[in-house]
Structure 1
Amino acid sequence: MVERFNRTLLDYLAKYVDSQQRNWDLHLQTALLAYRSAEHEATDFSPAYLNLGREVKLPVDLAFGSPNTTDLGPPIYALELRQRLQKSHAIVRKNLNLAADSMKTRYDIKKLPIHFLAGEEAWFYNPKRRRGISPKLQSDLESPIRIISPLSELVYRIQCKGSKKTRVIHVDRLAPFKPRPELSRSQSPKDGAM
């Protein structure tokens, strides 16, 4: 959630910073006001409304007046605020569940179930940062590991080559290992034919 907010905030700031990108801090408050007062797609409410029980007063409201300015006494306002917040939070929970179901459905369409047997070899996704090597160009797959035993449909016990220790990992970090077929002499490139 924080990563998504950071991306949105960077998108907002990118529209205002100068070419040297040194004045981003001058536009931070304006970008945060825009974020807090904008209705979000997943919740159908603005963050300000969900936290305060009302929309924030924008400069245009101060200049021309807000259409919903009713002066209620403190006890009546507090009761109405509580009711508005409870109602809006219930709607947000429902909207977030619908959005989560929609995202899960889209994810599951592309995901095929993979099953491994004990003793089978598989590639192991294990990203590591190495000094002096660009992480964008290095392979994150480790040489084939051996499946010791399936603990469930999604969790497997594995053993890496050259290690006696076993690890328990999720199936999302495994890929089927298909050894490359060796070239026979008749298929190998001839000397000098490159």
Structure 2
Amino acid sequence: MAYRSSEHETTKLSPCMLMLGRKIELPIDLIYGPHPQRDEFPIETEAANAYVQKLQTLMWDVQQKARKNLITASNRQKRQYDLRANQNSYKVGDSVWLNILARVKHISQKLQKQWDGPYIITEVISDVIYRIQKSPNSKFQVVHHDKLKRFYGKVDNGFVN
């Protein structure tokens, strides 16, 4: 109940307001009754039609406000993410480490090596995709830049000296 009645940071509205077009009735409302200034549900047919029209207009306004707040929050979150995001750019011939995802089951993850290499970048496919090769005789791999880390050492034909 607390989740449904709480205003969310992104939409600036509660889920109950988004779904029902009204605030949720909390236990305090059930104990002491509705707020004296709150409109009761109309019983007459013409009043009911007016209520439906009013509710549809309210729901449309609430949804528009939520969409606007979502766009604002999305832009803010992207800006915050981009501050911390870093993209390493490599060129052909650079030496890099490759992050290994395969793990041996019987050995603790802490004791396994996380990086393999050095690898040599043989082709830049795009800004974030690279073709790498460990040695001239090995198969090449196509990897994303997030799996690579620059290697600072001496490399001769793909082998460490």
Does TM, scored on the shorter chain, surpass 0.5?
yes
Contact 2:97/2:118 (<8 A) preserved? yes
Q: CA deviation at 1:160?
A: 5.5
Separation in 2, partners of 1:76, 1:142: 70
Residue 118 of structure 1 corresponds to 92
- TM-align CA RMSD: 2.6
* Structure 2: distance between partners of 1:138 and 1:150: 29
| Cα distance change of structure 1 residues 40 and 122 upon mapping to structure 2, 3 Å threshold | same
1:164: which partner in 2? 139
Distance 1:117 1:126 in 2: 21
Distance in 1, Cα, partners of 2:34 & 2:103: 54
Do the aligned partners of 2:131 and 2:140 also contact (CA within 8 Å) in 1?
A: no
What's the CA shift for 1:137?
5.6
Q: Distance in 1 between matches of 2:152 and 2:58?
A: 58
2:25 corresponds to which of 40, 57, 62: 57
Structure 2: segments with no counterpart, 5+ residues: 155-161
Choose the corresponding residue for 1:85, options 59, 77, 84. 59
Within a 5 Å distance, the mapping from 1:43-192 to structure 2 comes to 43-67=11-35, 68-72=38-42, 73-135=47-109, 138-159=112-133, 163-167=138-142, 169-179=143-153
Greater C-alpha Rg: 2
CA distance in 2, matches of 1:46, 1:120: 52
Uncovered stretches (5+) of structure 1, i.e. residues with no partner: 1-32, 181-194
Contact 1:156-1:170 at 8 Å conserved across structures? yes
TM-score normalised over the length of structure 1:
0.62
Give the secondary structure class of the aligned counterpart of 1:50: helix
Residue by residue, what CA displacement relative to the aligned partner does 1:71-97 show, whole Å, maximum 9, x if unpaired?
Answer: 234433332222222222222222222
Q: Deviation of residue 163 (structure 1)?
A: 4.8
TM-score by length of structure 2 reads 0.73
Aligned residue pairs, count: 147
Higher strand share: 2
